[in-house]
């Protein structure tokens, strides 16, 4: 059993802290947002993540998981301090490290015993060295025995607990290999591959992994756009490709592109790092351009189907950036809604989990309580997020409610032949338009 402090109770920190508690450790999660901590102390989750609420409750009951705003009590006797605060994009796409700095300085101010400082947040290559400098500078002549380890997270929202408990790999990077090996002990119960490397390599593994996954998606989306013109079906192209073991089937779903709090931020940050150090990241720039274009193409398809978007009502199903999360950061729906409104369209939208977050950012949008309210008197229906509950909606009712039987299936969720047979004008992504 180890004593662990996790700084930041967002999608990454809260899942990380709770899962370490579930493994039998003593964990204190800290956040500087009072509302977040007060909510957690009352059992209210600040985020929607399947299974998290129950796991938090179990570990709070077992007195392994604690929440506080106070750094001193959070760090008291801690052997490990995980930094899992946000690393949002700055103006030029660089990662904003102000919160990482604040956390590192708080550790430096308070800790007077040996500690491992672990970067769980996604940080640019070289940040680990920088965090060590921040701590040393802050300590001045007060010595402190510490090491910094990079331990990037590979958690997908919506499956974060499973991704933590059954990871493909744990990556640990440090200039102090003993420190990384010591941290590996925390992950031993997971019985997974634990890779120990140097700091910068670990930081780059995180960025390169996310950028590669985003590249796969932009690649299949570009192939999908060709399929539309050439009369092929991108879903079957992806299936045929994926049977090649070197390619594999995952992350080849054509759609409205990638969003969320990670891919957009991480690809931009990697591009920024490249340009800053003199490498021209043509591929990354193309990956981002294709992704932006995927949203514009969706708007173009709707405009073509309706003749104009001005004064038309578009129903949007799904606002979160992917199913099984309430996170709307950089979601395709948000960007498409913005583009549609710019052309004079009226929007009515629904999401199974993200309505609270959506209501904070979507002002002139009618927020609905069901897919049927979204379809009511709409000139077209766009599926932006492939929630399970949209799979079996009643299309007879949808058709009666729509002003025009026009559907843009942004995630190829539905059966195109069935919908065409019901008289819908069905448009998918990467599939022949009827």
Catalytic amino acids? 262
Look up residue 298 and give its two tokens: 């969706």
Q: Which stretches of 69-140 are assigned E, i.e. beta strand?
A: 80-83, 115-119
Eight-state DSSP code of residue 112: -
Q: Which residue has the tokens 């009590």?
A: 73
Would you count residue 155 as binding ligand UDX (CB under 6 A)?
Answer: yes
How would you list the strands of the sheet with 65-68, edge to edge? 65-68, 26-30, 3-7, 80-83, 115-119, 146-150, 169-173, 193-197
The count of other CB atoms within 10 Å of the CB of residue 303 is 18
Would you count residue 33 as binding ligand UDX (CB under 6 A)?
Answer: yes
In whole angstroms, what is the distance from residue 15 CA to residue 77 CA?
A: 22
Would you count residue 263 as binding ligand UDX (CB under 6 A)?
Answer: yes
- For residue 322, which of 208, 155, 203 has the smallest C-alpha distance? 155
Would you count residue 268 as binding ligand UDX (CB under 6 A)?
Answer: no
User: Minimum distance from CB of 396 to ligand UDX (Å)?
Assistant: 28
Answer for which of 25, 26, 28, 122 binds ligand UDX (CB under 6 A) is 122
Ramachandran sector of residue 142 (left: φ over 0; alpha: ψ -120 to 50; beta: rest) = beta
Q: How far is CA 222 from CA 216, 227, 231, 252, 259, in A?
A: 10, 9, 14, 11, 16
Would you count residue 68 as binding ligand UDX (CB under 6 A)?
Answer: no
Residue list 70-99, contact with ligand UDX (CB under 6 A): 84-87, 99
Residue list 281-340, contact with ligand UDX (CB under 6 A): 321-322
Residue list 101-120, contact with ligand UDX (CB under 6 A): 102-103
Would you count residue 252 as binding ligand UDX (CB under 6 A)?
Answer: yes
Position of minimal CB gap to ligand UDX: 10
Element (H, E) at 380: strand 380-383
Length of the chain: 434
Size of interface with ligand UDX, in residues (CB under 6 A) = 41
Please identify, using beta-carbon distances, which residue of 22 and 379 lies nearer to ligand UDX: 22
Stretch that binds ligand UDX, among 26-34, 71-79, 184-192, 297-305 (CB under 6 A): 26-34
Stretch that binds ligand UDX, among 58-66, 153-161, 299-307, 349-357 (CB under 6 A): 153-161
Please identify, using beta-carbon distances, which residue of 252 and 306 lies nearer to ligand UDX: 252
Would you count residue 20 as binding ligand UDX (CB under 6 A)?
Answer: no
User: Minimum distance from CB of 379 to ligand UDX (Å)?
Assistant: 25
Would you count residue 11 as binding ligand UDX (CB under 6 A)?
Answer: yes
In whole angstroms, what is the distance from residue 153 CA to residue 13 CA?
A: 10
In whole angstroms, what is the distance from residue 229 CA to residue 426 CA?
A: 16
Element (H, E) at 288: helix 282-306
The count of other CB atoms within 10 Å of the CB of residue 356 is 11
Please identify, using beta-carbon distances, which residue of 85 and 132 lies nearer to ligand UDX: 85
Stretch that binds ligand UDX, among 27-35, 131-139, 142-150, 185-193 (CB under 6 A): 27-35
Provide the pairing of β-strand 26-30 with 3-7: parallel
Contact at 8 Å (CB) between 376 and 298? no
Stretch that binds ligand UDX, among 141-149, 247-255, 301-309, 370-378 (CB under 6 A): 247-255
- For residue 374, which of 413, 412, 403 has the smallest C-alpha distance? 403
User: Minimum distance from CB of 32 to ligand UDX (Å)?
Assistant: 4
* Contact pattern for ligand UDX over residues 192 through 231, marking x by CB under 6 A: ------------------x--x---x--------------
Enumerate binding residues for ligand UDX (CB under 6 A).
7-13, 31-33, 36, 84-87, 99, 102-103, 121-122, 153-157, 210, 213, 217, 251-253, 255, 257-263, 321-322
């Amino acid at each position: 059993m180890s004593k662990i402090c996790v700084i930041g109770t967002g999608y990454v920190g809260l899942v990380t802290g709770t899962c370490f508690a579930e493994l039998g450790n003593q964990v204190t999660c800290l956040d500087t947002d009072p509302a977040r901590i007060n909510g957690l102390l009352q059992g209210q989750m600040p985020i929607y993540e399947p299974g998290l609420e129950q796991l938090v409750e179990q570990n709070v009951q077992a007195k392994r998981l604690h929440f506080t705003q106070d750094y001193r009590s959070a760090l008291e006797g801690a052997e490990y301090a995980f930094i899992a605060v946000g690393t949002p994009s700055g103006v030029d796409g660089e990662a904003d490290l102000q919160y990482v700095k604040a956390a590192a300085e708080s550790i430096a101010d308070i800790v007077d015993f040996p500690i491992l400082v672990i970067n769980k947040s996604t940080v640019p290559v070289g940040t680990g060295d920088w965090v060590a400098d921040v701590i040393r500078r802050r300590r001045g002549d007060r010595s402190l025995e510490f090491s910094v380890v990079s331990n990037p997270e590979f958690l997908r929202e919506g499956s974060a607990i499973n991704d933590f408990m059954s990871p493909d790999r744990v990556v640990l990077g440090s200039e102090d290999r003993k420190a990384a090996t010591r941290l590996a002990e925390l992950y031993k119960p997971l019985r997974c591959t634990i890779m120990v490397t140097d700091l910068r390599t670990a930081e780059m593994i995180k960025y390169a992994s996310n950028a590669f996954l985003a590249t796969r998606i932009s690649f299949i989306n570009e192939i999908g756009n060709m399929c539309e013109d050439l009369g092929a079906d991108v879903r079957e192209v992806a299936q045929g490709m994926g049977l090649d073991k070197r390619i594999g089937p995952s992350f080849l779903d054509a759609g409205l592109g990638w969003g969320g709090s990670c891919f957009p931020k991480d690809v931009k940050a990697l591009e920024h790092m490249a340009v800053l150090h003199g490498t021209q990241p043509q591929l990354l720039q193309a990956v981002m351009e294709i992704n932006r274009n995927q949203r514009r193409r969706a708007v173009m398809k709707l405009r073509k189907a309706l003749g104009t978007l001005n004064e038309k009502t578009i129903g949007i199903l799904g606002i979160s950036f992917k199913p099984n999360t309430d996170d709307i950061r950089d979601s395709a729906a948000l960007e498409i809604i913005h583009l549609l409104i710019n052309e004079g369209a009226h929007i009515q939208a629904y999401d199974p989990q993200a309505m609270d977050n959506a209501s904070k950012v979507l002002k002139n949008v009618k927020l609905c309580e069901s897919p049927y309210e979204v379809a009511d008197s709409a000139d077209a229906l766009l599926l932006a997020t492939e929630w399970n509950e949209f799979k079996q909606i009643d299309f007879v009712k949808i058709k009666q409610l729509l002003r025009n039987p026009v559907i843009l299936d942004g995630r190829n969720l539905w059966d195109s032949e069935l919908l065409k047979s019901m008289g819908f004008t069905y448009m998918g992504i990467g599939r022949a338009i009827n």
